[in-house]
Amino acid sequence: MSVVLEQIFQVGFLAAIIRIATPLAFATLGEMFSERAGVLNLGIEGIMLLSAMTGFTATSLSGSLWLGVLAAVLTGALMGAVHALFTVALGLSQHVCGIGVTLFSSGLAYFLYRLIFGQQSVPPSIKSFETLPIPVLSDIPVLGPAVFNQFSLVYMAMAAVPLAAFVLYRTPWGLSVRMVGENPRAADSAGVGVIATRFQAVMLGGALMGLAGAFLSMVQFNAFTFGLVSGRGWVAIALVVFGRWDPWRSAGAALLFAFVDALQLRMQASGLGHIPYEAFLMLPFIFTIVAMAVMSRNAVAPSALLKPFRREER
């Protein structure tokens, strides 16, 4: 185990945690905003994949990384709007619509990718973002190079957490989001537009999921592959529960998951015993299940989660 402990305090290991946590943090915050407003978004997995594809494509065609990020964000917000149209405006089942959005977005991503890039023997790739060391801070031993010599999207994720907390807890709009997720009728009778607020929250959530997708295809892998997201969206949904619908806790949950994931990668690489590597692959998910079971006992979901709002219904 001392080998493992040594590994933990290496720069590379810390940096890996941060990198793995970044897309999860975006996705978890996105899902959290949506659920805080009372809308479960099971479209997250597909939204991430489609955004990863559009972001990659936009960059690949234009050569501009930031244009790609913008495309991914807009894609996410648009798919969020699609989900909101069905679940908020029309009041349909959030489960069914969410699964539908995921299937549709994934299918669309594969289709458009093939349409644009065709079948190539060498998959197209883009020149990725480069790390951006922050002066002074990146000179701190160990922590500096790991945390402050990162990609700009990583810094954005770090800023997104306090920003999300501020918006949710300190602004009138954030209060409206929490209110429509707890008791939409109360919000309505206070003159808050329930439909509009939910729409906005789900679209903001979608945009954040889009950022998560952009990170995967434009930073982590520099390419688009069909297995790119591979369950990270579903994990984010679990992390929201684990994080008790709070931005700070959600980000903490993402970091914890990333830690276990980075650990299992190292354990695979260090060839611990003769355990098949698939066993290590399971670790983060076992961790998620155990953590959920232990920590989420007393977690209370927003009261109006899954409940569509119709005014004349009494």
Partner 1 sequence: MPAPLIEMRGISKSFGAVMANEAVDLSVAPGEILGLLGENGAGKTTLMNVLFGAYAPDAGEILVQGRPVTINSSADALAVGIGMVHQHFHLAPRLSVLENLLIGIPGKSGRIDRAGGLARLNEIGRQHGLTLDPDLPVTALSIGEQQRLEIVKALFRGARLLILDEPTAVLAPTEVDGLFSALRSMAAQGLGIIFISHKLNEVRALTHRCVVLRHGRVTGRVDTPASTTSSEMARLMCGHEIVPPARGPSTPGEAVLTLDGISTSRHSGMALRDVSLSVRAGEILGIAGVSGNGQRALAEVISGIRAPDAGQMTIAGKMVARFSPREVQALGLGRIPEDRMTTGLVTNLPLADSMVLPRIGTGAFSRNGLLRPDAIRAFAEAQIKAYDIRCPGPMTRAGALSGGNLQKALLARELAFDPKVLIVSQPTRGLDIGAARFIHEKFLAMRAKGCGLVVLGEDLEELLMLSDRIAVMYEGRIVRTLDSADATIARLGLMMTGAEGHS
Residues contributing to the site for partner 1 (CB under 8 A): 170-172, 174-176, 178-179, 182-183, 185-192, 300, 303, 311-312
Give Cβ neighbours of residue 83 (< 8 Å, ≥ 6 apart): 39, 41, 43, 97, 98, 101, 202, 206
Q: How far apart are CA 187 and CA 174, in angstroms?
A: 12
- Residue placing its CB nearer to partner 1 in the complex, 278 or 312: 312
Q: How far apart are CA 82 and CA 87, in angstroms?
A: 9
- Residue placing its CB nearer to partner 1 in the complex, 110 or 173: 173
CB 51 within 8 A of CB 232: no
Residue 174 Cβ, how far from partner 1 at the closest point, in Å? Answer: 8
- Residue placing its CB nearer to partner 1 in the complex, 150 or 250: 250
Residue 178 Cβ, how far from partner 1 at the closest point, in Å? Answer: 6
Q: How far apart are CA 181 and CA 39, in angstroms?
A: 8
Return the structure tokens found at 158: 């770090």
3-state secondary structure of 274: coil
DSSP state of 127: P
- Residue placing its CB nearer to partner 1 in the complex, 68 or 302: 302
Residue 184 Cβ, how far from partner 1 at the closest point, in Å? Answer: 9
- Measure CA of the first residue to CA of the last residue in the chain; give whole Å: 60
Task: Give 167-235 as a DSSP string.
Answer: HHHHSHHHHHHHHHHH-HHHHHHTT--HHHHHHHHHHHHHHHHHHHHHHIIIIISSB--TTSSTTHHHH
Residue 176 Cβ, how far from partner 1 at the closest point, in Å? Answer: 7
- Residue placing its CB nearer to partner 1 in the complex, 192 or 207: 192
Residue 248 Cβ, how far from partner 1 at the closest point, in Å? Answer: 17
Is the C-alpha dihedral spanning 21, 22, 27, 28 positive or negative?
Answer: positive
- Residue placing its CB nearer to partner 1 in the complex, 9 or 166: 166
Give Cβ neighbours of residue 143 (< 8 Å, ≥ 6 apart): 14
- Residue placing its CB nearer to partner 1 in the complex, 75 or 197: 197
Residue 101 Cβ, how far from partner 1 at the closest point, in Å? Answer: 28
Residue 166 Cβ, how far from partner 1 at the closest point, in Å? Answer: 8
Q: Which residue shows structure tokens 């690949």?
A: 60
Residue 78 Cβ, how far from partner 1 at the closest point, in Å? Answer: 26
- Residue placing its CB nearer to partner 1 in the complex, 13 or 309: 309
